[in-house]
Amino acid sequence: MNNKVRFGLGFGFVGLLAGTAGAQSFTELLRAGDNVPGASTLVTRIDDVDVNTSGDYLIELDSDGPTTEDAYVIQNNTIIWQEGTSTGFTAPVGYVAGSYVDSMDINDNGDVLLTFPLTLAGSTSSAQWVMVRNGVTVIETGVTPCNAPGLPPGTFYSGLAEVWQNNNGQLLLGANVALGGTGNTSILLRVDVDSLGNIVSETKVAMVGETLPGHPTFIQGFSFSKGRQAINDNGDFIWYVDDDNNPPGSTLVDSYMYINNTVLFNEADPFPVAPGEVFDHFSTAEVDINNSGDWVFSGFDRRTGSDDSWIFKNVGGVNTVLAHEGEPVPASVPGAFFVAGAGFGGIVPMSNNGDVLWYLDWDDTDTTKDTGLLMNERLFMQEGVTLLSGLPVYNVSDGDTEIGMSDDGKLAICEVVLPGSPNFDAVFMVAFDAPVGSAYCDPAVVNSTGNPGVLVALGSDVAADNNLTLQASGIPVGEFGYFLNGTGNGVIMNPGGAAGNLCVSTLIGRYNSISQIFQADANGEGSLLLDLPTTPTAGGPTAITAGQTWYFQCWYRDTPNTTSNFTNGVEITFN
């Protein structure tokens, strides 16, 4: 084809295709059957994972070692905790670490927070619990006093349920206390610690048996779980509480979601994204809050039937639905399927940019490929389709301890199951390329999938880096396409009978060599890593340099509609 722009169905595509560059990369960290780093035992199971913005990670695992010493936590490639020992902390005299870690977190400063039971040396019987931060014991149940204002003298911590930390030495703690030395009362506290792990202050947020603003009856309990409360770097926290439902209480209005001390929702409040509906209970809802005060909610409205499950986020005060049971799946999920409400599950971590990582199940009758992980509306891992270390994912995990995301949204850590004899656990780091530029002519005209094709640019807008990938998604599976560029953004409606609109102009260049044409994969995607110094234009190859603004678009066939179509455009000013 020459450098003149032609439209219609005469693409001239050939069967030799380029390999595509994805919008994320996967790195295997550990799998069952590997040696435990620094030990002579073999990994048998993965139990928990976490990651920070620097790529430092934690993995809790089980091994084939002696049953009293076979559980470990590794930070990167180093053992920092081992069952049956005092590795990583100073154990009280006569005690060793118990059989598992209950809470595990690493923040952006590299502070490692663990809670776990202690056992008597030479025994398997659990005794008290400890919370350890950077190897220093912050709380030991039965020993450490709880000095939060409003509690009677002689109150000690009697149990540790869950803890969340931010990057500024603040902890949100779900625990139990022995009021005045007796009993076992559930309490939610904010605890501030110094750089050495010493408690600076404790603030009671809520406690069973007390009342709070907006509560007509006494607090009955909480739901302390990794994804059901969160704290951000400003010290703001989102949390759940349940009232006493005995008369005059009511199970229809006894659940509350709070941000700090302000009610966000009562379970009988209007559902923000479903007119005419109200919330259902919050006891199994998953939430997160970022540094901007944006939040995400995964839970239920009160309608009956199979359409009561939702995930939506509130960014800058605007609610956006990510998924609703019974409605079509996001465009990045291949096939004309609908959301299955039973499969949301797990945590819904939210980045400081408002990105949400979440798990989806859809109604494909082929249950070997009907689940996946998404970043916002983009599917990046699909059961039975995505290849990791050369193997198709056998099971995408969705539990609270099986996925995590860095605060900047650039990294995720995922536990998966890979096929084998038998199948086995493995942990992968996922690095997401950063979107650059801004979309225009957006959204594009819908194609035969019922959704528009979507173009994003990923990598760097620094011309000298020469690291920019164009990624098209929402393309009909198996269809051919290629990318266009221009230094203008003029619009031509339906050129040559195309269904969509051409949104680039001025010396339009086409990435249509044999190595640049793509065929949309099973995810409806195609991509190309650009070579900025040899950018094609109608006047011949040229170099993109700092200070220039360029426009990009994808043109693709849409055979079911016997036509062609275009994605949105992306405008990039290079630095």
Amino acid at 500: G
> What percentage of the chain exceeds 70 in pLDDT?
95
Q: d(Cα 49, Cα 290) in Å, to the nearest integer?
A: 20
464-502: per-residue pLDDT in tens? 989 889 999 889 999 999 999 999 999 999 998 999 999
pLDDT given for residue 23 in this prediction: 64
pLDDT given for residue 356 in this prediction: 95
> For 45-59, 149-163, 290-304, 338-352, which range has the lowest pLDDT when averaged over its residues?
338-352
Q: Which pairs from 185-194 meet CB under 8 Å and 24+ separation?
A: 185/209, 186/161, 186/221, 186/222, 186/224, 187/146, 187/148, 188/222, 188/224, 188/229, 188/239, 188/241, 189/146, 189/148, 190/231, 190/235, 190/237, 191/138, 193/133, 193/138, 193/169, 194/169
411-456: per-residue pLDDT in tens? 999 999 999 999 999 999 999 877 789 999 999 999 998 889 999 9
pLDDT given for residue 217 in this prediction: 85
**Average pLDDT in the 265-290 region?**
94
Q: d(Cα 433, Cα 317) in Å, to the nearest integer?
A: 26
Query: Is the model's pLDDT at 202 over the cut of 80?
Result: yes
CA torsion sign, 393 to 399 to 400 to 401?
A: negative
3-19: per-residue pLDDT in tens? 333 333 333 333 222 22
Q: d(Cα 518, Cα 15) in Å, to the nearest integer?
A: 9
pLDDT given for residue 458 in this prediction: 87
Q: d(Cα 204, Cα 187) in Å, to the nearest integer?
A: 7
Query: Is the model's pLDDT at 366 over the cut of 90?
Result: yes
240-250: per-residue pLDDT in tens? 999 887 777 78
Domains and CATH numbers, the chain: 435-573 (2.60.40)
294-335: per-residue pLDDT in tens? 999 999 999 887 889 999 999 999 999 999 999 999 877 888
Token output for 94:
């006569």
pTM: 0.79
Shortest CA distance to 195 belongs to which of 154, 138, 123? 138
